[in-house]
Amino acid sequence: MATPGDPRRLFRLVQEGRLRALQEELQAAGGCRGLAGDTLLHCAARHGRRDILTYLVEAWGMDIEATNRDYKRPLHEAASMGHRDCVRYLLDRGVAVDCLKKADWTPLMMACTRKNLEVIQDLVGHGANPLLKNKDGWNSFHIASREGDPLILQYLLTVCPDAWKTESKIRRTPLHTAAMHGCLEAVKVLLTRCQYEPDCRDSCGVTPFMDAIQCGHIDVARLLLEKQKEGHTAAVQTLLSLGADISAKDERNRSALHLACAGQHLACAEFLLQSGLKDSGDMTGTLARQLTEETGALWGFDHSPVT
């Protein structure tokens, strides 16, 4: 059992928000770090203990820019957990808003993993740059596309109109990511406000449409296809043509039908067949119908895999 003055007890007091008990015992332990190199400030920020954060900074003069072993600072912790009061306190104290943790993640990137628009607004309002990229080539807009909150995407596009012009190191766009995760409302925003190149493909030749099909998100796949068919203007037609290339294939010569069947997403496979996609062999000659157990239901006859 932890005894008074034990660092483990101090961290537990911070987690539980017991400021008075912390005040009584902190003198005996002084500044300390946890197993991951955390300071008590990291702990307070992570758990949203604004009163304790204030006490540690103003009564003990603890370093608000202290880093742990992952180079996280208290601002990273508060932003990643969506604790707006702690974020605003740290920003008002003048912390570096675009500080980097391991893998080059900024506090804004971490805030974009949460659907907390106000925290994102606070960070951007204090100068956070949405265009910075982490080691994988993702900027904050790309990360927000994975979470799929349309209000956050709309806000980032308003304050930084070029935020959508980004690709990861393997050439995946925010549209790829939103489609893969089935974020229908996010996809609607991306198709309306952004201008992706026709048939945008990642380094493996995969399009957003193929991502949606492979992961079973038929609503997203249907949107990508149906929007193109509307063809209200030439600009919209060009923008959405990536969803129209229903016969596109990846580097292994697999079509969207192969991906749907391999994932046993039968509704998606049926949708593709009804939309006119024909089955064909991949680079090994394997047909899509050989990858699903429900060939009879989809093609109207039994098909045994070639041995």
Q: How confident is the model at residue 146 (pLDDT cuts 50, 70, 90)?
A: very high
Residue-level pLDDT at 252: 86
Residue-level pLDDT at 51: 97
Pick from 173-182, 213-222, 228-237: least confident:
228-237
Q: 37-48: per-residue pLDDT in tens?
A: 899 999 999 999
Residue-level pLDDT at 243: 42
Q: How confident is the model at residue 227 (pLDDT cuts 50, 70, 90)?
A: low
Spell out the domains of the chain, with CATH numbers in brackets.
Answer: 1-95+105-128 (1.25.40.20)
SS (H, E, C) the chain: CCCCCCHHHHHHHHHHCCHHHHHHHHHHHCCCECCCCCEHHHHHHHCCCHHHHHHHHHCCCCCCCCCCCCCCCHHHHHHHHCCHHHHHHHHHCCCCCCCCCHHHCCHHHHHCCCCCHHHHHHHHHCCCCCCCCCCCCCCHHHHHHHHCCHHHHHHHHHHCCCCCCCCCCCCCCHHHHHHHCCCHHHHHHHHHHCCCCCCCCCCCCCCHHHHHHHCCCHHHHHHHHHHHHHCCCHHHHHHHHHHHCCCCECCCCCEHHHHHHHCCCHHHHHHHHHCCCCCCCCCCCCCHHHHCCCHHHHHCCCCCCCC
Q: How confident is the model at residue 91 (pLDDT cuts 50, 70, 90)?
A: very high
What is the value of pTM for the model shown? Answer: 0.76
Residue-level pLDDT at 32: 63
Q: 2-29: per-residue pLDDT in tens?
A: 455 577 888 899 999 999 989 888 876 6
Pick from 113-117, 271-275, 286-290: least confident:
271-275
Mean pLDDT to the nearest integer, 85-94: 98
